Amino acid sequence: MIVLADLTKRYGEKTAVDHLSFQIQPGVVTGFLGPNGAGKSSTMRMILGLDRPTAGTVEIAGRPYRDIAYPLRTIGALLDPRTGHPGQSARSHLLGMARSNRLPSSRVDHVLGAVGLAEVARKRIGSFSLGMGQRLGIASALLGDPQIVMLDEPVNGLDPDGVVWIRKLMRSLAAEGRTVFVSSHLMSEMQETADHLIVIGRGALIADAPIDQVIAQSTRNSVKVRSPQTASLREALERAGMTVTTLEDSELQVTAGNLDQVGAIAFSIGAQVDELAFHRPSLEQAYLELTADSLEYDAILPRPTGT
């Protein structure tokens, strides 16, 4: 478990992390989301003791990172895949890490095989592609067989097979009861992988909830109803306080109401219903709505020019 209590980081007059308090629980994949500049990297660096908090505390398995004698055995992390000297081989890089934490060399060979780098273990890191470097970084995170794994953008540079592999890896680690904390900008992948979400914006906590709850709270949840009596049905739904949009001549989209309520109103006025369906937004849609007021960099789309 990772516990943040009132964690704050300021750089001069800028507050990068603003009194964050949350817990990252074992047994689930916890996604860490936020716009660029939200404070995610600063938070993860403070968890690992790479940056000193201005205020507040972080505990990893009940202790600050600096008090862990052999940290790779407790928490494995990938913050930057560009680790190791480019002239070193993948195996020698991991061997150095293993020796610093009194891990057997057999562990090096095990993780190289687990991430698919066994055949290139003796190649220089400088010759690695982005995807190979990413796999090496993941191997580093797994080296100590830790109970806590923290990954920043783990799918960067991976091909489709690699994306499926890392997704299954994270879920299997959580199924073993480990703590898995992952940051990503890929909402579709996060929706496939995460059980719980921590969302921050401008350094402050926006959401700390199961992924289904975050999506369910979106105002984009709606009900589609198809009926030949759209005019009378729309009038009845609006009288009940629902927001109704006409999609086509025989289709209505209803927000601020659920399936049972819409069906009951249609029945009460004797309207024929040919289709009644609930529309659940994607995580990306829910996330964009949730963070709309927390963008550090809000680009303006250029106007189209004539030819």
CATH code of the domain covering residue 21 = 3.40.50.300
- 50, 59, 55, 49: which is closest to 8 by C-alpha? 55
pLDDT band of residue 249 (cuts 50, 70, 90) is confident
Task: Provide the percentage of residues in the chain whose pLDDT is more than 90.
Answer: 80
Is the domain of 242 the same as that of 188?
A: no
DSSP letters, 126-172, are GG--HHHHHHHHHHHHHTT--SEEEEESTTTT--HHHHHHHHHHHHH
Is residue 143 in a domain?
yes
Is the domain of 160 the same as that of 227?
A: no
| Helix ranges, 26-159 (H) | 40-47, 90-100, 105-114, 130-142
pLDDT of 177-221, one tens digit each? 999 999 998 999 999 999 999 999 999 999 999 999 999 888 788
Q: Give me the CATH number covering residue 255.
A: 3.30.70.100
Is the domain of 114 the same as that of 248?
A: no
Is the domain of 100 the same as that of 49?
A: yes
The residue from 163, 186, 210 where one domain ends is 210
**22-26, 34-38, 172-176: which range is least confident on average?**
34-38
Cβ neighbourhood burial of 225 (10 Å; 0-12, 13-18, 19+) = buried
Is the domain of 159 the same as that of 228?
A: no
Is the domain of 170 the same as that of 249?
A: no
Domain that holds residue 100: 2-210
Is the domain of 14 the same as that of 159?
A: yes
pLDDT of 283-303, one tens digit each? 998 999 889 887 765 555 565
From residue 187, alpha-carbon distances to 32, 43, 122, 203, 281 in Å are: 11, 20, 35, 20, 12
Total number of domains constituting the chain: 2
Cβ neighbourhood burial of 159 (10 Å; 0-12, 13-18, 19+) = exposed
Query: DSSP 3-state assignment of 252?
Result: strand
Task: Provide the percentage of residues in the chain whose pLDDT is more than 70.
Answer: 96
Is the domain of 158 the same as that of 263?
A: no
pTM of the model: 0.85
Is the domain of 78 the same as that of 178?
A: yes
Is the domain of 135 the same as that of 251?
A: no
Q: Is-contact 53 46, C-beta < 8 A?
A: yes
Total residues belonging to the chain: 307
Is residue 90 in a domain?
yes
Is the domain of 100 the same as that of 8?
A: yes
